[in-house]
Amino acid sequence: MFPIFEQTSPGRKLLLLVLAILAGQLVGSIIAAIPAIIIGPSNPWTLRIAVAIGSLCSFVLPGAVLTHLYSSTPWSYLGLRRTYSHNFAAAGFIMLGVLPGINLLMSINDLPQLPAWMIEMEELMERQLELMLSSNGIAGYIVNVLVISIMAAFGEEFVFRGLMQRHLTRLTRSQIGGIIITALIFSAIHFQFKGFLARFALGAVLGFLYATTNSLWVPIFAHALNNFMSISAYTVLGKGSDMDTLGSLDNLWPLGVASLAVVVFMLSKLRSAPAPADDAKGHGGSEGDGSSLLAE
C-alpha cells in the first residue's frame, strides 16, 4: 500500500478520516445485524459481537489503512514508537488518581435537566452495557476485557489521538487546541450525554499523555487500563457501589477537586520528560516520519 495521500493537506486528511469513520460505522452496522438476527438482539453475546465489529470497522481498520495511505513510515506516523517505562507507570497512576475527579464531573453533568431524547438514548445504552457486563460469567468477562478494554483502546487511540489530534493540531497550529477539540469530538461521538464532561476530561488526559510522551502506546495503555478497571469494578462490585460516587458532589467532593489537581500536576511533570533515545538517533524522531504532532 503506497502513501498516495502523503502530500495531502491536514484539512483533507481530517475529512478523509471522518468519511472513513462514517463508512466504517455503516458497514459495521450492516455486518452486526447478522448475529442479531441469528442469536437475537437482546443476547449479551450479540452485543459483544456488535461492539467488536463496531470497533474494528469504525476505528481499527480506518486508522490502520489511512495511516498507510498518509505515510511511508505508517506506524511512526501514527505514534507507535518506544518510550520510557516510567511514562507507562505515570500513566497508570494518573488513571487511578483521576477516578474521583471523573465522579465529580459526572455529578456536575447530572445537574442540568437533559432533553427527553437524550435521557432515553442514555438509558438504552446503559441497559445494553449492563447486559454485556453482568452476564455469562468468566467467559463473558474475558471477552468484555478483550472487546471493551483492549480492542476499543487500540481502535479509538489510532483514530482520535494518532490521527485526528494530529490533524487538528496542525490545523489550529496549537497543540492545546488539537487536544481539546479532539477530546470534545471523542466525548460527543459516544452519545452518552450524562457522561459528556467526564469523557471529555478523559479524552483530554489521553491527548496530553500522547503529546507529552510522543508515543501512542502510552494513551493506548491508559485507555485500556481505564476500561479494564471499569469492567472489573462492575463485575466485582456491581452497579451503584461507593466507588461510583467517591469524589462526587454528594460524596467527598473535595477529593474530586484534589484528584483533578493531582492529575494536572502529574501531566505537567510528564511534559518535561526527555525524548526516547531511539528518537534522538533518528528512529522516529524527525518531522518527516511524524514524531511531532505539529509535523505533517
- Give per-residue pLDDT as tens, 117-156: 788 888 888 888 888 887 778 999 999 999 999 999 999 9
Mean pLDDT for the stretch of residues 54-71: 94
Per-residue pLDDT tens digits for 196-214: 999 999 999 999 999 999 9
Per-residue model confidence as pLDDT tens digits over 251-262: 888 999 999 999
Name the pLDDT band for 238 (thresholds 50, 70, 90): confident
Distance, CA of 3 to CA of 122 (rounded, Å): 40
The pLDDT of 2-16, averaged and rounded, is 91
**Amino acid letter, residue 293:** L
Say whether pLDDT at 275 is over 60.
no
Is residue 296 situated within a structural domain? no
Average pLDDT over the chain, rounded to an integer: 86
| Highest mean predicted confidence (pLDDT) among 67-71, 128-132, 279-283, 286-290 | 67-71
Report if residue 285 sits inside a domain. no
Is position 160 within any domain?
A: yes
Q: How many helices (H) and strands (E) does the chain have?
A: 15, 0
C-alpha cell at 215: 508515543
Going by C-alpha positions, the residue among 81, 71, 80 that lies closest to residue 289 is: 71
pLDDT of 296 reads 53
Average pLDDT over residues 217-221: 96
What confidence category does residue 237 fall into, taking pLDDT thresholds of 50, 70 and 90? confident
Residue 114 is predicted with a pLDDT of 78
Structural domain includes residue 132: yes
Percentage of the residues of the chain whose pLDDT score is greater than 70 = 90
Range with the poorest average pLDDT among 130-144, 153-167, 230-244: 230-244
Q: How far is residue 262's CA from residue 272's CA, in Å, rounded to a whole number? A: 16
pLDDT for the residue 143:
94
**Structural domain range at position 95:** 10-274
Q: Is residue 180 part of a domain?
A: yes
Q: Is residue 230 part of a domain?
A: yes
Q: Please count the structural domains in the chain.
A: 1
On whether residue 202 sits in a domain, the answer given is yes
Q: What is the pTM of this model?
A: 0.88
CA dihedral 119, 122, 128, 129 (to 10 degrees): -140
